[in-house]
Structure 1
Amino acid sequence: MDPTHMFELVIVMFLAIIALHYAARRFGLPPSVALLAGGALLTFLPGLPAIAIDPDLVLVIFLPPLLMDGAWFIALGRLRRHMIGIASLAVGAVFFTCAVVAVAVHFLFPSLPWAACAVLGAIVSPPDAISARAVLQRVKLPRRLQILLEGESLLNDASGLVLFRFAIAAGVTGAFSTAEAMGSFFLLALGGAAVGIAIGTVWVVFVRRLNDEYLIIAATALLAWMSYMLGEMIHVSGVIATVTTGLIAGWYQHTVFSASARMRGTSFWTVMIFLMEASVFMLIGSSLRGVVERGGGFGVVIATMGLPMLAVLVALTLARFAWVFGSNLVVEFCKVLGLKRYTPLGLRASVVLSWAGVRGVVTLALALSVPEGFPGRDFILVTSFAVIVGTVLVQGTTLGRLIEWAKLIEPESEKARLNLSQAEAAMAQAQLATIKDRAYDTEGNLIHPRLLERYQLRAKMIVDYIQKTEHHDVLLHAHFDVVLAAIATGRRELIRLHRAGDIDDETLHELERDLDLEELSALSAKS
C-alpha cells in the first residue's frame, strides 16, 4: 500500500474511533465492543484494501506504553500485599489454562500434535492487559479484586509469551523440556526486572537534572519503548522490563516532576493511551477479513470449526473458574489450619474474578506470528480470533451486570486508614504549620496576616466538614456552583475584551490560563 494511502487510512481510523466512542456512550455499550464491530465493518467496505497486521510491530507499538500506563498508576502498596495472589493468576492460571486447552484440543483433534495444541493454549491463556483496562474502567470493584486483575494483566503476558515460544520450538524441533521451560521463564523474568530497574534508575537521575518540562515529558513518553526493546534485544522479558520501569517511574514521579510537567504530561499521555487502546480494538476487528479468508470463508469456518472453537472458549473459561475457586479453597484450608494471613475471596468475588478474563491484542499478535506451515495453523488463527471476539462480546458486556449482582463490599482490611477528607485535613495542618513559621519576621512581627488567616480558616473548615459532612455537602456544591458561574462570566468578559481589540493575544492567553486553573480547582473541590 502507498504510504500516503496508509496515513489516510490511519486518519480515517481515528475519525471512526471518535464516532464509535460517541455512539457507544450514547447507547450505553462498552466502547471495546463498538470499536471491535466498527473495525470489522470498516475492513469490508468496498474499495478499502485488506489490512495486513505485522504481529511483531503491533506488540512493539502498542504493548509497551499500555503496560507502562498500567504500572505507572497501579497501587504499589496493594500490589506488594497481594503479590502471591497476582502471581497465582499471572503464572499459575496461565500455565493451567494452557494445559487444559491443549488437552481439550487434542481430544477434539487426536491427529494434531501436542505441540500445536500447546501453542493454541499458550496463545489464548493470558487475559489481555488492554482489554482488561477497557473493562475495568467501566466498573467499580473492591480494591483487592481491582489490584488482582490489574496486576495479573500486567504480568501474565510474560508467562504466555514464554509458553508460546517453547511450544513453537517444540513443534518445529520435536523436543520439549518442562524443567528447561520453567528455568527459562524465571531467567527471563529476573533479567527483565534487572533491565527495568536499570532503565528506571537512569530515568530518575536524568529527569532530576532536566529543567525543561517538554524534554521531561518527551523522555518519559519514550521510556516504555526503551525498556521493552532493550529487554527483547538482550533476550529477556520485555514485558517485565517495561512493568518494572513503570513501577519505578510511577513511584518517583511525585517527587521529580513539577506541577506543570505533571499536568501537561498527564494530559498528553491520557490522549495517547486513549487513541492506542481504541486503535487496538479497531485493528482486531479489521483483521477479521484476513482471518476469514485464511479459513476459507464464513461458511467453511462456521461449518468446520464452529463447535471446536466453542469448545475451546468453554474450556478456557472453565479452567479459569477451576483455578480461581481451587485457589480460594486452598486459602480456606490454610485458614482452618490456623494460617490466617490470607483471606479467602468468597463465592461472589471468586465468580467475578473468574469471569473477568477478556482476551485481546496479545492473543491476536501471537496467533498471527505462528509460522507458515505449522500444524493446525489455520485452526489456531481462527480459534484465537473467536476467543477474542467471544470474551469481549460476552464477558466484556456482562461483567458490569455481574458485579452489580454480586454487590461486593470493600473489606475493612482493604480500606485506607484515612479517607479523602481526613487526608486533606492532615495536609492542611502541615501547610498551616509552615505558614505559622514564616508569617512572622525575626522580631516576632506578623508580616503575612491575610495568608495566616486564610490557611487557619481552611484548616478549620475542613475539620468542620468532616464532623458535619451531610450538612455541608449541599452548601459546598452551591458554593462552587457560584464560583464556576463567576469564572464563566470572567471568561466571557475576557473574550469580549479580546474581540474588541482592547487586549492582545498574550494577555488573553495569560488570563485564560489563570481562569482554567481556577475552574479545574473548583471542579475538583466540588467532586
Structure 2
Amino acid sequence: MHPAELFELIVGMFLAVLALHYLAHRLNLPPAAALLVGGSALAFLPGLPSVAIDPELVLVLFLPPLLMDGAWYTALAPFKRHMAGILSLAVGAVVFTAFAVAIVAKLLMPDLPFAACVALGAVLSPPDAVSARAVLQRVRLPRRLMTLLEGESLLNDAAGLVLFRFAVAAVLTGSFSLVEAGGSFVLLVLGGLLVGGAIGGLWVLLLRRLGDDSLMIVATVLVCWSAYIAGEMLHVSGVIATVAAGLTCGWFQHVVFGAGVRLRAVAFWQSLVFLLEAAVFMLIGFSLRGVLERVGGISVVVEQMAGPVALIVLAVLVARFLWVFGVDAGVTMLRRAGWTRACPLGARASLVMSWAGMRGVVTLAVALSLPAEMPQRDLMLVTAFAVIAVTVLLQGTSLGLLIRLAQPPEDDRAAPPLDLHAAENAMFKAQFVAVEKHAYDADGKLIHPQLLARYRTRATASAKFEGTDEERAHAIASHFDTVIAAVDAGRAELVRLHRAGQIDDATLHDLERDLDLEELAAVSAKG
C-alpha cells in the first residue's frame, strides 16, 4: 500500500470512528461494540485494501499510552489496600484460565501438544486494559470492584505475556518449566517496577526545570513510550514499567503541574486516548478479513472450526466464574476460621466481577505474533477473534444491565474518612485563611474587601447548610446553572460586539478565555 493511500485510509477510519461513536450514543450502545462491528463491516467493503497488522507495532504503539492513562488516574491508597485481590485476578485468574483453556483444547484436539494448548490459553487469558476502560467508563460500580477491575487491567498483561512466551518456547524447543516461568515473571515484574519508577522520577525532576507548558506536555506524553521501550530493551516487563511510571507521574502531577498546563495536558491527553482507543477497536474489526483469508474463508470456519472454537470460548468465560467464586468462597472460609481479616465480595459482586472479563488488543496482537510453525495456528487466530467479539459484544453491552440487576453492595470500609461535602468545607476554610492574611496591608487597612467577603461566604455558607444531600445538590446545581447562564450571556454579547466591529479579535479572545475558565469552574463545581 502506498504511504499516501495508508494516510487516506487512516483519515477515513477516524471519520468512521466519529460516525460510529455518534451512532452508539444515539442507540445507547457501548462505543467499543459499535467500533468493533463497524470495523468488521468496513473491512469487507469492495476496493478497500487488506490491512496487515504488525503485532509488535500494535503493542508498542497502543498499549503504553492506554496503560499510562489508567495508571495516571489510579488512586494509590485503595490500589495498595486491595493488592491481594488485584494480584489474585491479574496473576491467579490469568494462569488458571490459561490452563483451563489448555485442558479443554487438549481434550478437543488430542494430537495438539500440551505446550501449544497452554500458548492458546495464554493468548486468551488476560482481560484487556483497553476493553475494560471502554466499558467501565460507562458503568457505575462500588469503589472496591472498580479498584479491582482497574488494577487487574493494569497488571494482567504482564502475566499473560510471560506465560505465552514460555509456552511458545516450549513448543519450539520441547521443554517447559513452570518454576522457571514463575521465577522469570518475578524478575520481570521487579525489573519493570525499578525501570518505571526511575523514569517517573526523572520525569518529575525534568518538569521542575522546564518552564514551557508545551514542552511539559510533550515530555509527559513521551513518558509512557519511554518506560515501555526501556523496559523491553532491558529485558524486563515493559507493561509493568509503564504502569509504575504512570503511578509515579500521577502521584506527583498535582505538585509539578500548574493549572494552565494541567488543563491543556488533560485536554490533549483525552483526545489522544480517545483516538487510540477507537483505532484499537477499528483495527480489531479490520483484522477479521485477514484472519478469514488466512484460514480459507468463512465456510472453513463454520464447517471445521465452529465447534472447537465455541467450546473454547465457553471455557474462557466459565474459567473466570470458577476462579472468582472459588477465591471468594476460600476467603469466606478463612474469615470464618479467623485466619484472615479480608472481606469476601459476596455473590452479587462476584457475579459482576466474573462477567467483566473483556478481551481486546493484547489478545489480538499476541495471537497474530504466533509463529508460523505453531500447530493449529489458524484455529488459534479464529478463536482469539471469537473471544474478543463475544466478550466485547456480549459482556460489554450487558455489563451495565447486570450491575443494575445485581446491585453489588458498596464496601463501607473502602470509603474515605471525608466525603465530598466535608472535603469541600475544609478547602473553603483553608482558602479563607489564606485570603484573610493578604486582605490587609502592613498598616492593617483592608485592601481586598470583595475577596474577603467572597471567600468568607464560601467558607461559612457550605458549613451552615443544614439540608439533605439531595437538597444541597439541588441548591448547588441551581446556583451554578445561574452562573453558566451569565457566562452564556456574556459570551453572546462579546460575539455581538465583535461582529459589529466594536471590539477586535484580541479583546474577544482574551475576554472569551476568562469566560471559558469561569464556565469550566462552574461546570466542575456543579458536577
User: Shorter-chain TM-score category?
Assistant: over 0.9
Gaps of 5+ in 1: none
Question: Aligned residue for 2:417?
Answer: 417
Q: So what's the TM-score if we normalise by structure 2?
A: 0.98
Gaps of 5+ in 2: none
Question: Aligned residue for 1:428?
Answer: 428
Kindly indicate whether residue 307 of structure 2 is the aligned counterpart of residue 300 of structure 1.
no
Separation (CA, whole Å) in 2 of partners of 1:52 and 1:209: 43
Alignment map for 1:370-381 (pairs within 5 Å): 370-381=370-381
Question: Aligned residue for 1:160?
Answer: 160
Q: Following TM superposition, by how much is the alpha carbon of 1:314 offset from its aligned partner in structure 2, in angstroms?
A: 1.0
Q: The residue matched to 1:211 in structure 2 has which SS?
A: coil
Q: Following TM superposition, by how much is the alpha carbon of 1:461 offset from its aligned partner in structure 2, in angstroms?
A: 1.2
Question: Aligned residue for 1:16?
Answer: 16
Question: Aligned residue for 1:123?
Answer: 123
Alignment map for 1:37-56 (pairs within 5 Å): 37-56=37-56
Separation (CA, whole Å) in 1 of partners of 2:443 and 2:503: 45
In structure 2, what residue type is equivalent to 1:428?
Answer: F
Q: Following TM superposition, by how much is the alpha carbon of 1:340 offset from its aligned partner in structure 2, in angstroms?
A: 4.6
Question: Aligned residue for 1:485?
Answer: 485
Separation (CA, whole Å) in 1 of partners of 2:516 and 2:338: 57
Question: Aligned residue for 1:223?
Answer: 223
| Segment of structure 1 superposing worse, 345-354 or 296-305 | 296-305
Separation (CA, whole Å) in 1 of partners of 2:348 and 2:462: 38
In structure 1, what residue type is equivalent to 2:332?
Answer: E
Question: Aligned residue for 2:189?
Answer: 189
Residue-by-residue CA offset, 1:391-424 (whole Å, 9 max, x unaligned): 1111111111110111122121111211111101
Residue-by-residue CA offset, 1:331-355 (whole Å, 9 max, x unaligned): 1111112135210000000011011
Separation (CA, whole Å) in 1 of partners of 2:86 and 2:510: 48
Q: Contact between 1:367 and 1:381, CA under 8 Å: does it hold in 2?
A: yes
Q: Contact between 2:349 and 2:409, CA under 8 Å: does it hold in 1?
A: no
Question: Aligned residue for 1:104?
Answer: 104
Separation (CA, whole Å) in 2 of partners of 1:291 and 1:506: 55
Question: Aligned residue for 1:206?
Answer: 206
Question: Aligned residue for 2:344?
Answer: 344
Question: Aligned residue for 1:259?
Answer: 259
Kindly indicate whether residue 335 of structure 2 is the aligned counterpart of residue 335 of structure 1.
yes
In structure 1, what residue type is equivalent to 2:395?
Answer: Q
Q: Contact between 2:200 and 2:248, CA under 8 Å: does it hold in 1?
A: yes
Alignment map for 1:427-506 (pairs within 5 Å): 427-465=427-465, 467=467, 469-506=469-506
Q: Taking every aligned residue pair, what percent have the same amino acid on both sides?
A: 59
Q: The residue matched to 1:236 in structure 2 has which SS?
A: coil
In structure 2, what residue type is equivalent to 1:307?
Answer: G
Q: Contact between 1:421 and 1:466, CA under 8 Å: does it hold in 2?
A: no
Separation (CA, whole Å) in 1 of partners of 2:453 and 2:490: 26
Q: Following TM superposition, by how much is the alpha carbon of 1:160 offset from its aligned partner in structure 2, in angstroms?
A: 0.4
In structure 2, what residue type is equivalent to 1:291?
Answer: V
Q: So what's the TM-score if we normalise by structure 1?
A: 0.98
Q: The residue matched to 2:465 in structure 1 has which SS?
A: helix
| Segment of structure 1 superposing worse, 79-88 or 503-512 | 503-512
Q: Contact between 2:131 and 2:359, CA under 8 Å: does it hold in 1?
A: yes
Q: Following TM superposition, by how much is the alpha carbon of 1:28 offset from its aligned partner in structure 2, in angstroms?
A: 1.1
Question: Aligned residue for 1:514?
Answer: 514
Q: Contact between 1:130 and 1:277, CA under 8 Å: does it hold in 2?
A: yes
Separation (CA, whole Å) in 2 of partners of 1:41 and 1:215: 41
Question: Aligned residue for 1:269?
Answer: 269
Separation (CA, whole Å) in 2 of partners of 1:315 and 1:189: 28
Judging changes above 3 Å, is the alpha-carbon distance between structure 1 residues 466 and 38 closer, same or farther for their aligned structure 2 residues? Answer: farther
Question: Aligned residue for 1:326?
Answer: 326
Alignment map for 1:55-66 (pairs within 5 Å): 55-66=55-66
Q: Contact between 1:94 and 1:156, CA under 8 Å: does it hold in 2?
A: yes
In structure 2, what residue type is equivalent to 1:110?
Answer: P
Question: Aligned residue for 2:175?
Answer: 175
Q: The residue matched to 1:287 in structure 2 has which SS?
A: helix
Judging changes above 3 Å, is the alpha-carbon distance between structure 1 residues 435 and 67 closer, same or farther for their aligned structure 2 residues? Answer: same
Question: Aligned residue for 2:313?
Answer: 313
In structure 1, what residue type is equivalent to 2:526?
Answer: K
Separation (CA, whole Å) in 1 of partners of 2:12 and 2:235: 37
Question: Aligned residue for 1:25?
Answer: 25
In structure 1, what residue type is equivalent to 2:403?
Answer: I
Q: Contact between 2:99 and 2:118, CA under 8 Å: does it hold in 1?
A: yes
Q: Following TM superposition, by how much is the alpha carbon of 1:471 offset from its aligned partner in structure 2, in angstroms?
A: 4.0
Separation (CA, whole Å) in 2 of partners of 1:470 and 1:290: 54
Separation (CA, whole Å) in 2 of partners of 1:399 and 1:524: 28
Question: Aligned residue for 2:236?
Answer: 236
Separation (CA, whole Å) in 2 of partners of 1:397 and 1:216: 38
Question: Aligned residue for 2:367?
Answer: 367
Judging changes above 3 Å, is the alpha-carbon distance between structure 1 residues 472 and 87 closer, same or farther for their aligned structure 2 residues? Answer: closer
RMSD between superposed Cα atoms in Å: 1.2
In structure 1, what residue type is equivalent to 2:235?
Answer: H
Question: Aligned residue for 1:80?
Answer: 80
